[in-house]
Structure 1
């Protein structure tokens, strides 16, 4: 494949003006095997990328262009950092030209089109392509991703919840009660995107803390679909997201009932063994209390396992919602798709303070 042979991977980004788009640019501009070829924005057509994002001065020389003028069909891979519905409307034309696709929205996350239409209020434009797409959680689908033409990058909340539960559910025998899983999750304001909305204004979000989507959130069916497939049975999930007054970061606390037959399990050892070879998952020492600042701007996800009582398990999971929860994970997928070590261009140390 091109990456493995040393040839630069020609990369295009559709919708590069949002937070996931600029994270893609930050990561890809330093990737040794990537040639940034095209970036699109109808509204900012002709504007230098570095004018919008001055942190990229001296690193990205591209200008935004309309999709029609961006020569996306000349790329090896195109990332869609766009609203839901955009990638599926353009997928077939790109695939016909041999271009691979990584979608950071929801178009290729849910295999059940009826569920997709229920939550995203639009018909799915290419169910045949969806059927051949791969859910891009590397630690779950590594082999499938390496041969995929279309990857649906997981949502940020699902990444933390699924990876926090994976060792407990896989292997055909769950160790916890799959009908009473509670995921209590918090995200920084950047998770809402760069669009202007009253709820994410500084005066609204700062000095406050609130739950949202309690009656239903789009990430719930995504999490439930993946967990049910892992466990081999439908799961019962209570998922409550919260908005916290920080720019970036995500903290998911998972509450679980240990099954009677699993009471003798060493859960710390279970997690350490499952993730020992995963470069971007850090199972912390017993008793650890992870902080979101320890993963800021990195592709690292950290897990701490606690057992406050013999029958209860609490799993703490943190990540940067814009990196491992979005753009970093997308680059990790690209590396696999092009035969590169999946850590390539992603070994940034978290930023402190």
Structure 2
């Protein structure tokens, strides 16, 4: 069966990544693409690397007929998705790539995003989109909230360890580096080539990064008590990719064994041999996650390193993986592309 797909916000990086992935999908057809400022243009004009594809032109959202659409990918800016999704017909299933439905607690949403939630009734039905851990709930959901790309990376490195009780919950440090595409396509002075290249810097330092809301929510839920990690992201002069180095107090070999047990049957999570560490180069453009574990020189401490592509597994690939479950397709459909190297 071929399902009809609409992508809202298709002129952004995650929208383009969705188009790239769905182009190889055997059971999905893109029937509508929306954009705001670029409405009326073709996708090939906005993204020349996609000009070989037969795609509908970009239109305003209110020009789309959703009566024949089976699933919508909502790749709109934060705080926009709430109002747009509220207007969609009930038969349309939705995967939201923004932050609008990630946090279950409405007060937590207001704390981290600076405004009250405008669609609390939708928040009640939203399922957190970490596929490997919410697979059954995602399969039956009408609305799935994609995770933050940084939040996903840290969770792959830590969820199995917290669940197995292998690490000290009060001594977790996440040192993360991310490519600039995670900030979106809008023009910002600090992301100009001359401002960003040949250097790297931390940002949102000291516990103010919004993805901490997801870490607090998910880790505390698993542990059954509050868990607050130390988290510092750094901006890299690279287009895409995330590398998280996570410092924990626990036995390194037991941690590696726990990963092998937790992720052994997962199609997209690769556990490296003990003592080896991953690179963003080896997951670029793919839906794969690479995890490595190294024993620290201090006894009883370990270093976990996780790499993924922020636009694919951290966002659009994760969204397609969830959509596959929701529509009854093979979970890996459209997602087995090998990473791009070099």
TM-score normalised by the chain length of structure 1: 0.94
Instruction: State how 1:176-215 maps to structure 2 within 5 Å.
Output: 176-215=167-206
RMSD of equivalent CA atoms: 1.3
8 Å CA contact 2:66, 2:89 repeated in 1 = no
In structure 2, the residue corresponding to 1:191 is in which secondary structure? Answer: helix
Q: CA deviation at 1:95?
A: 4.2
Matched residue of 1:84: which SS? coil
CA distance in 2, matches of 1:335, 1:242: 32
For 2:166, the equivalent position in structure 1 comes to: 175
Aligned to 1:45: 39
Residue aligned with 1:297, SS: coil
Structure 2 partner of 1:74 = 68
Unaligned runs of 5+ in 1: 1-6
Cα pair 1:49 1:60 within 8 Å, conserved: no
Paired with 1:149 and 1:51, the residues of 2 have a C-alpha distance of: 33
Structure 2 counterpart SS, 1:91: helix
- What residue number does 1:9 align with? 3
Question: Are positions 1:246 and 2:234 aligned together?
Answer: no
The equivalent of 2:277 in structure 1 is 289
For residue 76 of structure 2, give the secondary structure of its aligned residue in structure 1: coil
CA distance in 1, matches of 2:105, 2:55: 40
1:147 and 2:140 aligned: yes
State the alpha-carbon separation in 2 of the partners of residues 268 and 118 from structure 1.
35
CA distance in 1: counterparts of 2:253 and 2:55, whole angstroms: 54
Q: How does 1:78-227 map to 2 (within 5 A)?
A: 78-96=72-90, 98-171=91-164, 174-215=165-206, 216-227=208-219
Q: Distance in 1 between matches of 2:11 and 2:318?
A: 19
- DSSP-derived class of the 1:266 partner: helix
Deviations 1:71-127, CA, capped at 9 Å, x for gaps = 23431111111111122102232143x101111011110011111112212221111
Structure 2 match to 1:278:
266
Distance in 2 of aligned mates of 1:164 and 1:273 = 13
Matched residue, 2:23 = 29
